[in-house]
Amino acid sequence: MSLRVLVVDSTIVTSNRVIERGYVYVEGRYVKALGEGDPPEDYQLADTLIGGEGRVVLPAPAALLVAPEAYAFRQRGVSVLDMVAGRVRALLEDDDELSYYSSLMGFYELSMQGYGLVVALALNHSTVSRALADSGLQGVVVIPLCGLSWRDAVSRAEEARRELGAGRGVGVAACGDGEVGAARRAAEEAGADLVAVLGPDGARIAAGRTYIDVSYSMLSPSPSPATMSVVQPWLSVNRQLNPHADRALEALMYTPYRVLRGTTPLTPGGEAFVLVVDGSEPPSMVVDPQEAVHQLATSTPRTETLISAGNIVVDGGQHLYVGSEACRRAREVIGSRLGRLREAIR
């Protein structure tokens, strides 16, 4: 039987309205119903009951073209082009344990910030794919060409797909316009879900006939793949910091799902990518439900529950897939490689 989740007595933020007190009913991978007031009797039977006074429910933001393996380098300012070339790439491709635990911690932080969908660059395709699956998040693992032959990219994409499990996808990225033809050929051969083109300041993600442009700036609607800086999604929609805050909101919470998943979150029949935050008290108290998102954006909201394609990843503020033992081991692994990390980025 599919997992049934009922969110009650919460502010619901959808693409076209704000429900000041309402409910959301999730069954399996999909939102089955949402509305104002109390749920009808048909939607009151649930396996998990969440929400409550002061809670705000909205689509989980999407993180586009993050580099989770760069978690170990995030204090070093390693650029995205440094990541896919030279000694950094060689280190991560050769050290499965470093790649895996760096990626797992990157995905852990993304989910605790509320990101429900991840498009991740992967130098070590196997370990990044395993870390994504182990994190509970849905997403796409992207193989960067950047000197690889298109045949090698096909092989890596096929291996990554086997590691990822149901619902997750693969993609291929070109490093600059000169590799676009090879990336498209590799994507077609591998049956990839998307093609990306990486540039020095940004990237373009194409899925079918639609595309998304991604900026690497700190106020772009995604964490920076340059350093795996886990930018809080709220910074992008803070009107005090970003003159394009409403555009960033669309780019964070709606466009990626339409382009990459063919779905609109928080609508009946749409895939369940749902974020619940606690706005009942400071530091993220919401006093005007109609402005809930922008009030949250001026503080540091706590992720209370995160649902990724119907899968509960965070609940009660606790990650349900990555525990303290994994974090302890990650600290040991990354700490033991500090000398090699410093050498790789000189």
pLDDT tens-place string over residues 12-26: 999 889 999 999 999
What is the structure's pLDDT at 251?
84
What is the structure's pLDDT at 159?
93
In the numeric block, which tokens belong to residue 272? 């369940």
Sign of CA dihedral 46, 51, 53, 58: negative
- Please say which residue of 231, 248, 264 terminates a domain: 231
In angstroms, how far is CA 227 from the centroid of its own chain? 15
C-alpha distance from residue 165 to each of 17, 80, 144, 160, 169 (Å): 35, 27, 20, 9, 9
Rounded to an integer, what distance in angstroms lies between the CA atom of residue 195 and that of residue 255? 16
- Which region among 6-10, 85-89, 299-303 has the lowest average model confidence (pLDDT)? 85-89
Q: Is residue 334 part of a domain?
A: no
Q: Is residue 50 part of a domain?
A: yes
Q: Is residue 320 part of a domain?
A: no
C-alpha distance from residue 296 to each of 83, 313, 325 (Å): 33, 21, 31
pLDDT band at 77 (very low <50, low <70, confident <90, very high): low
Which residue has better confidence, 10 or 243? Answer: 10
- Which region among 16-25, 116-125, 161-170, 322-331 has the lowest average model confidence (pLDDT)? 161-170
- Please say which residue of 186, 211, 231 terminates a domain: 231
Rounded to an integer, what distance in angstroms lies between the CA atom of residue 116 and that of residue 181? 31
CATH number at residue 73: 3.20.20.140
| Mean pLDDT, range 23-34, rounded to an integer | 96
- Please provide the average confidence, as pLDDT, over all residues in the chain: 88
What is the structure's pLDDT at 222?
45
Instruction: Count other Cβ atoms within 10 Å, centred on residue 97.
Output: 15
pTM of the predicted model, to two decimals? 0.92
Q: Is residue 331 part of a domain?
A: no
Q: Supply the range of the domain harboring residue 252.
A: 4-60+238-315
Inform me whether the pLDDT recorded for 314 exceeds 50.
yes
Q: Is residue 160 part of a domain?
A: yes
Q: Is residue 127 part of a domain?
A: yes
| Mean pLDDT, range 276-296, rounded to an integer | 90
pLDDT band at 33 (very low <50, low <70, confident <90, very high): very high
Q: Is residue 194 part of a domain?
A: yes
What is the structure's pLDDT at 343?
83
> Could you tell me if 188 and 103 lie in one domain?
yes
Q: Is residue 341 part of a domain?
A: no
Inform me whether the pLDDT recorded for 330 exceeds 50.
yes
> Could you tell me if 70 and 54 lie in one domain?
no
Inform me whether the pLDDT recorded for 320 exceeds 90.
yes
> Could you tell me if 98 and 171 lie in one domain?
yes
| Mean pLDDT, range 217-238, rounded to an integer | 56
Inform me whether the pLDDT recorded for 226 exceeds 80.
no
- Please say which residue of 209, 231, 253 terminates a domain: 231
| Planar angle of CA 221, 226, 231, nearest 5 degrees | 40
pLDDT in tens, 116-146: 999 999 999 999 999 999 999 999 999 999 8
> Could you tell me if 38 and 93 lie in one domain?
no
> Could you tell me if 123 and 264 lie in one domain?
no
